[in-house]
Structure formats: C-alpha cells, structure tokens
Structure 1
C-alpha cells in the first residue's frame, strides 16, 4: 500500500470532518454558483426585460434606417441638382466664349468703320474746302471762268449734289458708328450678365457640395448608430440565449418529460415526433428572433440527444443552414397533401431520398442554427402552407 513517508496525517480519512472538507472543496464552487444563481422567476423577468430592450433597439434601428434612406434620397436629389447646375455652367461658359468672340469681332468692325469714317471725313473736309472756295468766288468770276452759261448751271448743280451726298454719307457713317457702339455695349452687358450667372452657379454648386458632404456625414453617422444598435441587439440575443438555456435547464429539472409517443396517430396519420418536457413556443406566436414574424411551428424542449422519429412515412430530404435558420433539418414528404419539418437537430440518421416509415428514428435533438437551447422545431405543411401542428397531432 502506498504510504506518505515522513508526513504525519493530521486528519483521519474516516472522520466526519474530512468528509465535510471533501464535500466543500469538491462541490463548494457549484454550491456557491447555485446559491448565486437567479431563481426561475427572476430569469424569466430578466428575459422579458431583455426582449423588451431588443424590440426597442430594433425599432430604433428601423427608425435610423428610415432616416438614412431619407437622407440618401436627399443626397440623390442634390446630386441630380449638381449635375443640372454643372450642365448650366458648361452651357453658360460656351455662351460666354461665343459672346467674347462676338465682342472682339464687333470691336474689329468698329475699328474698321472708324478708319473708313476718318477717310470719309478727310474727303469731306477737302470737299468742303473746295465748296468754300467756290462759294467765295464772285458770280462774275464764275461766269467769266466758264465756257458758257450751261457750264455755270451744271457746276452749280454739281456743287448742290455733292453737298447732299456729303450730308448723306455723314449721316450714314454716324448711324453705322452709333449702331456698332450700341452693339458693343449690348454685348459687354451680356458678357457681364453671363459672368455673374456663372459666378452664381459656382456658388450654388459649392453650396450643394457642402450640403452633400453634410448629408453624407449624417448618413455615415446613422450607419454607425445602426451598427451600434445591431451590436447591442446581437449581444442581447446572445445573453437571451443564455437566459433561455438556464430557464430550460431549471424547468427541465423541475418537470418530467411528457410521454406523447404512445398516443398513436391522428386522423390524418401524423404522430408526435418526440417526447418533450414542455413547449417553449407555439405556432403563430411572435418569433423570439424577430417578434414581427410569427413562429412557423412548435418548439418541443427536451434534453440534448433526445431521439426524433418520423411523424409519418415518406421520402426524406436532408438540409442544413449551418449556424443560421433551422440549422440541421429534415423534411419528410408524406403525400401530396402533407409534409413535416424537423429543425435544429444535432445529428441525423436518415439520408436524402430515403423512404422511412412512421415512427422510424431519423435523428437526435440538438441546438443548431438559430436556437437558444436543445429543442425540436416541428412544422406541418399542408399543400405547401405551414399550419398549426397541434391541429394535426393526436
């Protein structure tokens, strides 16, 4: 027998004190945790409060999503306005460029006409000098200098005609000059107006860009708030799953499994798929993971690994949604009218396309997918529509 050399036992193994110490060190932490654990009513109250928080956060997230959608619409509208403004600016710049060319062309025409006017003025001055000299000649000198009286008359008529021509030319040149100067003034005014319009449009674009930046910032802020709310929702759901698991364990320890496997089959030929301790959620109730969505079956709670049986004979389909939805699930197509679904299985014994008989073992209860603890999510489909399983079970 193994002995402790040199060590004198101070506690005899057979004494009550030793066994008291053994129980304390072995089960002490468990007893402490049990003493600190919440009662069932406390856990259920916490679960209700937590569900209320989840719903509030979900409503807040939906509101933030609506605000983000509205901001996005405004941003899209502002972007359209910016595009329109940019188009106007481009068109205005084309008009400005064309106006500048027109102004330069008009200025060139004015300079040319002014040159022509100078020549005309010089010619007019020379003509006026001649006319002045002729006008200062005496009638006797004019008669004596002419070959005959007809020449005198013709010369006089010529002077009158020349004078009229000069007056008409002066009036025409002055009109051309006035028109060109008016056109130049009009083009200069138009250029100033277009430049002012361009400046206004640029300011408008700058304003829109600033608004777009503000709205984008607000959208990002809303997105961050939504992400934070979603993180809180996910955290609350995770904590809720822990509470549900504790509640299920407490209830399971207080209840015995309901033996429903011996109830036979219903009038439509379906039987209960497993024994259960209690039904945690009924058909049509607000779904725990999304209260706005009704629950599509019944959740039968029992221990992990509880056998699951075919509710009726039929053809098996095996599916898996991983950590989402049903998790590991089986669908059995019984006939043209009925099919049944078995969700959150830990493992499956049936195979896809396998023909199973009523009450044949097809898998074991688990907590895969969206699940807060071991249970079977059981659905009945009638002509492809989910119906209340309790109306079709014995």
Structure 2
C-alpha cells in the first residue's frame, strides 16, 4: 500500500500534505537580481526586429503598415520540402542528430557547393548548424583571439560588428562606396590589412545594399589573404538571388580553400527563415573546432529540418526560379519608383532583395526620417546608419513583399517626401 499522502502508481491521492506556513519576511531585505556580465553590453541587436515590434504595435491600434523592414521572403516554403520534414518526423527523426549534421545533408551541401562554385568539397568539410548565424559566431570564436583585428563591410549586417566586439577583437570597418556600386576600394582594403588582421568578412550579394563583388575585389582579397594568411568568412546566403550576373565565390580562387569559411543556408533561397538551418564549408580541422562549440551549446541541429534541407537541395528548383523572377520584377518596380521621387536616388541592386536609396537631399538624419516615415506614413523601413556609419543618409527597403504593397509604399513615401521638402 502506498503511504498516506502519496499517489501510488496513478491511484487517487488519499490525502493532501499539510500546508507549511512560510516564514515572515520581516527583517529581510529584498534584493535585486545579481548583476549581469559586462560583456553583454558589447552585443548589439538588429534594428529590423525593433522596427517590426513597433510596426506591430501600431497595427494593434488599427493602423495600416506596409512592411519593408524585414528580410524575409513572403512566399511559403515549397511543398516538397515541408512534406520531407513531416515524413522525417513520422519516421522518428526527432532525437539527437550528429553534432555537425546528418550525413545525407552534409553530402548534399558538399555536392551543391562543388557544382555551384567549381571546387572540390567533401562532406567532412561541411558543418550544419541551426541557422547560418552560428557559423558566423563559432568561426569568430574558433579563429580569432582577443585583440586581433577583423575587417568587415560597412554598411553591412550589424551582427558582424556585434560578435567581433563580443569576443574581444577589434572591428575594422571596410567602407562600401555608393559610387563603386557598393563595392569597396581595393587600395583601401590593402591599407586596412595589418599584422594583426585575423579575418576578413565579405558578403556578396550584400545586405543592406544588394551590392555584388566583382573579379577585381575578389582577386585583391585572394592576394591579400594568401600573402598574409588570414581567414575569409564569406557570407553567401544570397548567392541564388542575382540579377544578370553569375555568382563568384572567394572559395573558387587559387589558394583560398584552406583560408575560406563559406556561410550559406536555406532561409533566403527557399523561404525557410523560421526553419533555422544553415551550414559552413571550411577546412576539416575547423569543422572539428565548430563541432566542439556545438557540443557545448546547441548539441545538434534538429534532424527533421535537416531532412527538409536535403529535399531543398536535391529536389525540384522550380519554386526558387519563380521566386527569383518575382523578386526581379519587384526590384524594377521599387527602384524605378524610388528614383522618380524628388530628393531620392537609388542604385539598382545586383543581388539580394534590398534597395538602399540615398535620402541626404531630404534629411540629414536617416534615423529620424525612417521613424517619422513609419509613424506618420505607415511604411516600415530601416535607417542606413543602423548598418554602420557608412550607411548614414540611406534607408534599407526590403522588396520581399507583394507588388501591390510596394506600389502602396511608393505612394506613401512620395507623399511623405513631398511634405518633408516643403
């Protein structure tokens, strides 16, 4: 018989335990929570999520907002990919997976990378992670010492600088120049490289500008990296979103296989931002180091999402082609519309799905302009200076929204700009 007060093996409780009266708190001083580590102050956030929260708050009051702030494809994940995930779950792929990825996905990544970049890649050079950001974070942790210098694009994805600072390294911004199509000046890059340079981060096609690096820039990177023996972290998550040019990867250049960490994933190409599935292609010894970081943090990437990734890479690509064609049409609509607004000028992006118009003729403060545009006109955008000091005087607009929404946004932006100019 179970003792009184217990439930036995699922039997009704015989009686409840006697309630214990808590001690009075008189004489005790209620304390605040302990202090947080100072290094948390080194991390920054993404303004996109802050603006999204504010836009949703406005919508909750009944306001209508056109969302151009989030870099998230507005298409559903292709059906065969969703089906593969469901099947994997039904087949029991819900436990732990190998730390750096299931063999099927590592093989698929190796094959597609080799085919698209024209290089030899083995599955042992592939690390799978929950989203592409861990590749960035883990690569910096594994390769860069405190006090080392890391060169990164400015304007660029804000998490680059954030993580560089967090690990105790020195961030060195590499200006992307509007007059060069948002590429960097090769001579300026040479001047920034020092004996302390441990890594260069590149992003092509780029966020927030849509700029694409050409042979001149990539040749210079390869020459400098091989001569100075520093790592190159190449963020290529937008590599399938090019308009009129062929993707060039630094991994394909002579001598770069041992120095390159290629970052990629399914989020942008296959409309899978919430699936959190990314990967890196890198030298095998670095895969081992990332494996240790995975063991000490995420353990593994969900296996059913990895099976979905296999379906994405090996399955039909029709949906990708359709999305690409629609993004191209939206790009033309948005860029033509922005350039027709007095006080705005916008380079036509060669890749990704962002416009980065110059608004210096309308306002000296891009942050104020973006905030007022949201509050007064109901158009959510990001201010260029949130991507680095060299992005000041610009806005970032995502055309991952319908043509109807873009047309409405242009109408509102035009009216707002006319009002500002008065």
TM-score tier by shorter-chain length is: under 0.3
Structure with greater proportional helix content: 1
Q: Which has the higher contact order (CA 8 A, sep 6+)?
A: 2
